[in-house]
Amino acid sequence: MAKIEMKTPLVEMDGDEMTRILWKMIKDELLLPFIDLKTEYYDLGLEYRNETNDQVTIDSAEATKKYGVAVKCATITPNAARMTEYNLKEMWKSPNGTIRAALDGTVFRAPIQVKGIEPCVKNWEKPITLARHAYGDVYKNTEIKVPGAGKAELVFTGADGKEIRQTIQEFDGPGIIQGIHNTDKSITSFAKACFNYALDTKQDLWFATKDTISKIYDHNFKDIFQDIYDKEYKDKFEAAGIEYFYTLIDDAVARVMKAKGGFIWACKNYDGDVMSDMVSSACGSLAMMTSVLVSPSGVYEYEAAHGTVQRHYYKHLKGEETSTNSVATIFAWTGALRKRGELDNIPELMAFADKLEKATLSTIESGKMTKDLALITSMKDVTVLNSEGFIKAVRESLETML
C-alpha cells in the first residue's frame, strides 16, 4: 500500500519520560508505516531545553505560528527536585506556558468517550469540551493579610496621572483583601478562540460568569463576548446551524448536569480549572482527555492532557513492565494530522486520522486495554496489555480497517 503523502510539515515537539517512550512507539507502529510523515522536529525534552537555554521551546512556538499546526508530547515543568535530577542551569519555565503565551491561545479539553468506560453522569452521551481562559483573575493576584482596623481602597492611576479611587472596606479588625485583573485584549482573544473552535467543530458554545454579582468585572466578559459575537460571528453561527448562548454560571452548572453533551463550555480561568477537573474525573481518566491550544489567528497545537507519567517511567528504567495508556497521545497525533489534512486539502490524511481513532477505540471496546482503564471499565473479562502491547493491538485493528 502506498504511503499517504503530506504537503506541509507538522511541528513535532518531543517531550519527556514515559510519554517520550510512547511517542516513539506511536510513530514507529501507527504512523510511519502508513504516512510519508513530514515533520519539523523540536526536542523539548528537558535535557535539550537546558542545553539550548530553552531557546528550542521558543523556536518551536515560532515554527507553530509559521506552519499553523503542532503536535506536542508531555514535558517536565522543572521544580526544585528536577533541578538536581537534570543538573539544570535554571528552573526553566513550563513549555506549555511559553507556547501558550507565544500563541496567545485558549486550551480546549474534551474527554475521549468509549463504550465500557461510561461517565458517572449517565446522560452525558457526547463529550463536553471545556474552554478555559488561561490569563489573569485569581491566578495573577495581589493579596494582603489585613492586620487590624483600617481602610482598604482600590486605586487606579492612569498614564495621565488621574486617579480613580474606591473604598473596598472599612475594617474594624483583621481580615484579608485581594486585587485581581484582566485585560480587554486577553478576553477578546479568548472569545475569538472560542467562537472559531465552535465553528471548527460545529458545536454550540456556552459561556457563563457571575455577572449578576460582579456587575463590572464579570459583566465585561459577557459584553465583550456578546459584542464580538454580534459583529463577527452571528451570521457564521447561523449558517453552521450552531448556537451561542450566555447564562449565569449557576444556571450553566445545573444545565450541564442535565445535558447530553456535545457542546463547548467556555469558562473564566478559575471556573475552567475546577470544572475541567470535574468533567475529566466524571469521565474516568486523565489519560482519556484530549487537549488543543487554539490561537485567535487559527493556529493549533495538539497534546494529551496528562503529564509525563513519571512513576511509570522510573519502573521502565528499572526494566519493569509498564501499562501506560497512550490513547490521549495517539489522539494528539490524529488531531494534528486531521487539521493538517484539512488545511492542505488531503482527504486521505483526514480519513487516516479518523481510522486510527476508530481503531484505538475499537481495540478498547474489544476488551484490550491498559491497566488504568481495566480498573474502571464496566466490561467483564478484559485483557490488560502493557504499554507496547496496547499500541501493537491498535496496529492490528488499524490494519484490518485499512
Residues engaged in binding ligand NAP (CB under 6 A): 74-77, 96, 286-287, 303, 306-311, 324-325, 372
DSSP codes of every residue in 202-268:
T-EEEEEE-TTTSTTHHHHHHHHHHHHIIIIIHHHHHHHT--EEEEEHHHHHHHHHHS---EEEEE-
Q: Judged by CB under 5 A, does residue 277 bind Mg ion?
A: yes
The radius of gyration of the chain from alpha carbons, rounded to an integer in Å, stands at 23
Of 96 and 106, CB closest to ligand NAP: 96
Q: Judged by CB under 5 A, does residue 90 bind Mg ion?
A: no
| Residue closest to Mg ion when measured from CB atoms | 273
Partner whose footprint covers residue 308, from ligand NAP, Mg ion, none (CB < 5 to 8 Å by kind): ligand NAP
**Distance, CA of 209 to CA of 268 (rounded, Å):** 7
The x, y and z cell numbers of residue 85, run together, are 535530577
Of 129 and 323, CB closest to Mg ion: 129
| Cβ 203 to ligand NAP shortest distance, Å | 23
Residues paired with residue 41 on neighbouring β-strands, in sequence order: 12
Sorted by sequence, the CB contacts under 8 Å of residue 392 that are 6+ apart come out as: 29
Of 57 and 96, CB closest to ligand NAP: 96
Residue 128 is classified by DSSP as P
Tell me which stretch binds Mg ion (CB under 5 A): 3-11, 13-21, 269-277, 316-324. Answer: 269-277
Of 43 and 372, CB closest to ligand NAP: 372
Partner whose footprint covers residue 309, from ligand NAP, Mg ion, none (CB < 5 to 8 Å by kind): ligand NAP
Of 175 and 367, CB closest to ligand NAP: 367
Partner whose footprint covers residue 277, from ligand NAP, Mg ion, none (CB < 5 to 8 Å by kind): Mg ion
Q: Cβ(312)–Cβ(322) under 8 Å?
A: yes
Partner whose footprint covers residue 133, from Mg ion, ligand NAP, none (CB < 5 to 8 Å by kind): none
Residues paired with residue 205 on neighbouring β-strands, in sequence order: 244, 264
Of residues 188, 144, 182, the one with CA closest to residue 269: 182
Q: Judged by CB under 5 A, does residue 273 bind Mg ion?
A: yes
Binding region for Mg ion (CB under 5 A): 273, 277
